[in-house]
Amino acid sequence: MEIIKDPKKIQELTLNLRCSEKSVSLVPTMGYFHKGHLSLMRWAREHSDIVVVSLFVNPTQFGPNEDLDRYPRDFERDKKMAEEVGVDYLFAPEVDDIYYPDHATWVNVPKLSQYLCGKSRPTHFQGVCTIVLKLFNVVNPNIAVFGEKDFQQLVIIKKMVRDLNVPVKIVGRPTVREPDGLAMSSRNAYLNEKERKEAANIYKGLVKAREWVKNGQTNSETIIAKLTEWFMEHIPSGEIDYIEIVDQENLTPIEEIEDKARLAVAIFLGKARLIDNILLEVKK
Ligand code: AMP
C-alpha cells in the first residue's frame, strides 16, 4: 500500500489508471478505523481493480462548537488496518493541501440538508458535499462506497451526484455493529463504561420500534412517543437530539407509515453525539 499526501499526485495516478481501463473505488473516511470502515474497504476490494481510501478529518463539516480538535486519530494503526484489507492507496492529505486559504466554493443540497442532523448541524452537509465532490475530482473513482449508518449523508451524496452529473456510482453498505448492537463509530471512543453500556440501547430501541411497526403500529407520532419514553428509561444519561420517521428518498417526515420508512435518531451521550437508523416496513 502506498501512502499519498499530495492531491496532484493521486489525481495524476488515478487519471492514468482510468485511461488504462482500470476501475477505481474510493472509500472516503475520517480515519480511526473500525470494522465498519473495513467492511466498505473490503467491498471495494472485491468490486474494483484499485482501492483508494481517503483519510481526512474534514474541518468544514464540523460546527464551531463541535469535536474537530478532539476527533480521535491514530495514523499508524489506520495504516496497518488498511494495508491488511488490501487497500492500494491511502490518500491522507493535510488540510492546507485540500483547502486554499481563500477557498470560496461550496456545494449544497439545501432541501435534504435541512432535516434530521441538519437541524442541529446547519453547515455540516455543505462541508460533506464540498469535500466529497473535491475528493471525487482528485481521486477520479468510478465507484464510491459509503455506510448506511450515515443515512442522510448517503441520500444527500446520491442526490448531489445525480443533479451534478458526477460520473461516479454511489454504493451504500449496511451498518456494522458491535456484538451488543451499537453501531460502530469512531466517536464511540468518547464513551465511558456506563455510557457505553447505555449506548447499546439505541439500537435495541430501534429494533423495538421495527417490531411495533411489524405488529401493526403505523402512526409515527405514537411510535416516536413510545420510543422517546423507552430511551429516557434505558438511556438515562442520554439526551435525545431527534427521533424521526422519514421518507427514504426525500427525508420528509411521514405521519402514517404505509410501506417503508426510515427511523433515524441522534442522541447526545457524554461527550458523544451518536446517530443510528433502521428500516421500518409495514407487514402486508
Ligand atoms: P467516517 O470516518 O465516520 O466519516 O466514516 C467513513 C465512512 O464509513 C462513511 O461512509 C460512513 O457512513 C461509514 N461508516 C461509519 N460507521 C460505519 C458502520 N458502523 N458501518 C458501516 N459503515 C460505517
pLDDT at 140: 98
Q: Please indicate, yes or no, whether residues 146 and 34 belong to a single structural domain of this protein.
A: yes
Residue 273, class by beta-carbon neighbours within 10 Å (0-12 exposed, 13-18 middle, 19+ buried)? buried
C-alpha cell at 271: 461527550
Do 52 and 154 lie in a common domain? yes
166 and 194 housed in the same domain? no
Residues 162, 250: one domain?
no
pLDDT tens, position by position, 131-185: 999 999 999 999 999 999 999 999 999 999 999 999 999 999 999 999 999 999 9
Residue 246: the pLDDT is 98
pTM above 0.85, yes or no: yes
Residue numbers of the domain that contains 253: 186-276
Task: Give me ligand 1 centre to Cα 254, in Å.
Answer: 26
Ligand 1 atom with the smallest distance to the CA of 176 is 20
pLDDT, residue 204, reads 98
Distance between Cα 35 and ligand 1 center (Å): 9
**Measuring from each residue's beta carbon to the nearest atom of ligand 1, which residues come in under 6 Å?**
29-30, 36-37, 39-40, 146-147, 149-150, 173, 175-176, 183-186
* Partners of 276 in beta bridges: 265
Q: If we measure between CA atoms, which residue out of 173, 111, 166 comes closest to residue 138?
A: 166
* Burial readout 106-119 (b: 16 or more C-beta within 10 A, e: otherwise): ebebeebbebbbbe
Q: To 5 degrees, how large is the angle CA 56–CA 58–CA 63?
A: 155
pLDDT of the residue at 283: 83
Active site residue 124: no
**Ranges of residues in the chain whose predicted pLDDT is under 70:** none
Q: Are residues 236 and 161 in the same domain?
A: no
CATH number reported for the structural domain that contains residue 251 in this entry: 3.30.1300.10
Among 116, 151, 173, the domain-final residue is 173
Q: Is 39 helix (H, G, I), strand (E, B) or coil?
A: helix
Ligand 1 pocket test: pick from 25, 29, 81 the residue with the most ligand atoms within 8 Å of its Cβ: 29
- Residue closest by Cα to atom 13 of ligand 1: 147
> For residue 42, how many C-alpha atoms fall within 13 Å in the half-sphere facing its CB?
13
